[in-house]
């Protein structure tokens, strides 16, 4: 079954616009990160200088990779501590809705999990946003982390790019300068415009207290409000994903129309796509960036096609006697918003997990097993097609190093990338990135399925219950944040293990990647020869896709077979869990 024409139109238009924006935005980001003058410089340059003065940072001094890594980790852990304390003390701070809706201080293990979650760009939420966080925590805590965690990703991607393109250099940039420029010149302006567009579509932005209304039957109902649009824009743009409301982008106050839904998907894709162009320009060969973009678009398109097609099917497990009285012509509508439908929901699910966003406009736990397999496998590939803001670029470049190494073995010479030899040290660091991802996902999943505390979490039994656990640790390790929401995650076991998985997924990968950047920056370029494997054409695109998919399939196929694959086979036979 093929996706509907309307679904295909949305997908094609979305990818086309994101690709068209990649070139101008990629050029702009290169200028920003290289310190060149841009059209916003007259306004923002004085602000930038003021930030450096307050932070006592000399923007002309660059760092070696160990200093860059230490700066990232120290900054991140200070942010985690600050957000933890803010949640624990939020009722004593301004803009608290304590009297109106009963919002109190967050308990210790949940505050810890949430602080780690938002600082690692995961935005995993084991709480109801509208009844757990005050307006101040939402804005000055969570939304600020949405900006700086995304800016950190951009900084690391640019640092790795510098390492790959520089010659005989001992430095890879200055983290504090990269963080400042990413936030001021890239994230803030685009998020501001995005928020205005979302407000025009009906996304709310208010400090008003919750409303109490009466239903037709006379019952009282409380409707939470808040400053939503400002957080929604950076939530999508920064590939963060944490919703103001528990229903996330399925909530009409966060995502009211088909157009707002399309705009949110565009915000998710625009920077990851554009960073490939930034990479190509910094490398002095735009075709390098277009090749990476081609890999991203191919894998993302295939995933979208499969997920959309799966969700447009009727549910085969519904008994024939019951199905005769149910109109399933629209497809699998369980867990879907009527204003979006199954095709758009499948597209959104693929986009949000092909990146590290994790926002949802439908409930992934209600997808048919094959439809749920797509977002799960996207995360387990490393979320590099196109991946998160910055994280997608440095993730796919890690796989590019592995693919070049394999190509070098095939042609019988030392592998090269951008004219630099890939040697044992770089391969060890690249493999650490891949192994940490697999270890965290599979270890914590095994731990949860082998302990009473872990097995108490899933709502469902059988393979679907296993999928709920596997998805949780895949999402947290992959810094995604979406979930098969049948899992009860707000327990001591899942809050603590989830926080460890999120930190492994972020910091255990950042350090080897920066080590690669430092090693490559110190190398000289070698002249290309007849044995040099090209990294710009269709053969390279095919090889890189193959390496990404095969590594993911070989690593996670046994777990996927126990979860969504067998779940689909039993679903076809009419068996539910």
Q: How many Å apart are CA 577 and CA 573, to the nearest integer?
A: 12
Mean pLDDT, range 296-312, rounded to an integer: 95
**All structural domains of the chain with their residue ranges:** 391-572
Do the Cβ atoms of 29 and 21 come closer than 8 Å? no
pLDDT at 576: 74
Q: How many Å apart are CA 533 and CA 547, to the nearest integer?
A: 15
Do the Cβ atoms of 123 and 238 come closer than 8 Å? no
Mean pLDDT, range 535-548, rounded to an integer: 94
DSSP state of 144: H
- List of long-range contacts for 145-148, beta carbons under 8 Å, 24+ apart: 145/79, 145/83, 145/118, 145/119, 145/240, 146/118, 146/231, 146/234, 146/235, 146/238, 146/240, 146/242, 147/183, 147/187, 147/188, 147/191, 147/234, 147/238, 148/75, 148/79, 148/179, 148/183
User: Can you give the pTM of this predicted structure?
Assistant: 0.95
- List the single range of 210-219, 336-345, 394-403 with lowest mean pLDDT: 210-219
Residue 148, C-beta contacts closer than 8 angstroms, at least 6 positions apart: 75, 79, 179, 183
Count the helices and strands in the chain (H runs, E runs): 23, 4
pLDDT at 100: 43
pLDDT-based confidence at residue 225 (cuts at 50, 70, 90): confident
pLDDT at 323: 65
How many CA atoms lie within 13 Å of 569's alpha carbon, on the beta-carbon side?
8
Q: How many Å apart are CA 513 and CA 387, to the nearest integer?
A: 15
pLDDT mean across residues, the chain: 93
* CA distances for 47 relative to 38, 43, 53, 158, 308, angstroms: 14, 8, 10, 22, 45
Burial (0-12, 13-18, 19+ Cβ within 10 Å), 50: exposed
Q: How many Å apart are CA 398 and CA 395, to the nearest integer?
A: 5
Question: Is the link from the previous residue into 565 a cis peptide, with omega within 30 of 0?
Answer: no
Q: How many Å apart are CA 163 and CA 521, to the nearest integer?
A: 4
pLDDT digits (tens, 9 = 90+) for 473-520: 999 999 999 999 889 999 999 999 999 999 999 999 999 999 999 999
pLDDT digits (tens, 9 = 90+) for 428-472: 999 999 999 999 999 999 999 999 999 999 999 999 999 999 999
pLDDT digits (tens, 9 = 90+) for 12-70: 999 999 999 999 999 999 999 999 999 999 999 999 999 999 999 999 999 999 999 99
pLDDT-based confidence at residue 191 (cuts at 50, 70, 90): very high
How many CA atoms lie within 13 Å of 126's alpha carbon, on the beta-carbon side?
29
How many CA atoms lie within 13 Å of 408's alpha carbon, on the beta-carbon side?
19
pLDDT digits (tens, 9 = 90+) for 374-393: 999 999 998 899 999 999 99
Which residue in this structure is represented by tokens 């979860």? 563
DSSP state of 97: -
* CA distances for 29 relative to 268, 274, 513, 548, angstroms: 16, 8, 21, 27
Q: Which residues of 328-357 are buried (b: 16+ CB within 10 A; e: fewer)?
A: eeebbbebbbeebbbbbbbbbbbbbbbbbb
pLDDT-based confidence at residue 1 (cuts at 50, 70, 90): low
End-to-end CA distance of the chain: 25
* CA distances for 4 relative to 14, 329, 346, 511, angstroms: 15, 12, 12, 44
On the question of pLDDT at 226 being above 50, the answer is: yes
pLDDT at 25: 98
Q: Which of 410 and 65 is assigned the larger pLDDT?
A: 65
């Amino acid at each position: 079954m093929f996706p509907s024409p309307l679904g295909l139109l949305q997908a094609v238009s979305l990818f086309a616009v994101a690709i068209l924006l990649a070139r101008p935005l990629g050029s702009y980001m290169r200028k920003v990160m290289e310190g060149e003058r841009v059209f916003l410089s007259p306004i923002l340059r004085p602000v930038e200088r003021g930030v450096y003065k307050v932070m006592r940072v000399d923007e002309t001094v660059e760092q070696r990779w160990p200093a860059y890594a230490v700066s990232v980790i120290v900054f991140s852990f200070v942010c985690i501590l600050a957000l933890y304390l803010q949640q624990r003390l939020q009722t004593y701070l301004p803009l608290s809705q304590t009297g109106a809706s009963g919002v109190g201080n967050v308990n210790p293990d949940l505050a810890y999990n949430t602080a780690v979650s938002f600082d690692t760009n995961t935005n995993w939420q084991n709480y109801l946003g509208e009844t757990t966080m005050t307006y101040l925590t939402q804005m000055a805590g969570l939304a600020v982390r949405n900006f700086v965690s995304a800016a950190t990703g951009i900084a690391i991607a640019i640092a790795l790019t510098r390492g790959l393109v520089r010659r005989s250099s001992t430095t890879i940039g200055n983290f504090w300068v990269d963080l400042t420029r990413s936030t001021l010149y890239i994230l803030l302006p685009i998020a501001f415009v995005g928020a205005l567009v979302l407000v025009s579509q009906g996304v709310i932005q208010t400090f008003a207290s919750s409303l109490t209304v009466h239903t037709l039957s006379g019952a009282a109902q409380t409707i939470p409000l808040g400053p939503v649009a400002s957080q929604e824009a950076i939530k999508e743009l920064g590939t963060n994903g944490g919703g103001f409301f528990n229903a996330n982008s399925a909530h009409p106050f966060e995502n009211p129309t088909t157009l707002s839904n399309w705009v949110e998907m565009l915000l998710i894709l625009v920077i990851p796509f554009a960073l490939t162009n930034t990479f190509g320009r910094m490398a002095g060969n735009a075709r390098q960036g277009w090749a990476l973009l081609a890999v991203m678009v191919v894998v993302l398109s295939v995933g979208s096609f499969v997920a959309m097609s799966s969700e447009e099917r009727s549910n085969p497990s519904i008994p024939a006697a019951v199905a005769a009285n149910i109109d399933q012509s629209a497809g699998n509508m369980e867990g879907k918003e009527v204003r979006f439908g199954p095709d758009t929901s499948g597209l959104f699910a693929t986009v949000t997990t092909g990146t590290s966003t994790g926002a949802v406009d439908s409930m992934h736990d209600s997808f048919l097993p094959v439809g749920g397999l797509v977002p799960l496998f996207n995360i387990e590939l490393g979320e590099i097609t196109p991946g998160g803001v910055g994280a997608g670029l440095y993730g796919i470049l890690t796989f590019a190093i592995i693919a070049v190494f394999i190509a070098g073995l095939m042609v019988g010479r030392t592998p090269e990338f951008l004219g630099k030899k890939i040697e044992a040290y770089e391969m060890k660091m690249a493999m650490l990135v891949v192994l940490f991802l697999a270890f965290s996902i599979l270890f914590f999943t095994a731990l949860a399925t082998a302990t009473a505390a872990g097995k108490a979490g899933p709502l469902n039994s059988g393979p679907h219950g296993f999928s709920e656990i596997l998805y949780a640790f895949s999402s947290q390790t992959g810094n995604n944040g979406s979930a098969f929401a049948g899992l009860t995650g707000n327990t001591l076991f899942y809050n603590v293990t989830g926080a460890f998985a999120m930190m492994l997924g972020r910091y255990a990968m950042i350090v080897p990647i920066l080590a690669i950047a430092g090693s490559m920056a110190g190398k000289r370029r070698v002249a290309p020869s007849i044995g040099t494997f090209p990294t710009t054409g269709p053969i390279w695109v095919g090889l890189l896709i193959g390496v990404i998919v095969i590594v993911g399939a070989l690593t996670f196929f046994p777990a996927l077979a126990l979860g969504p694959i067998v779940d689909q086979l039993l679903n076809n036979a009419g068996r539910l869990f």
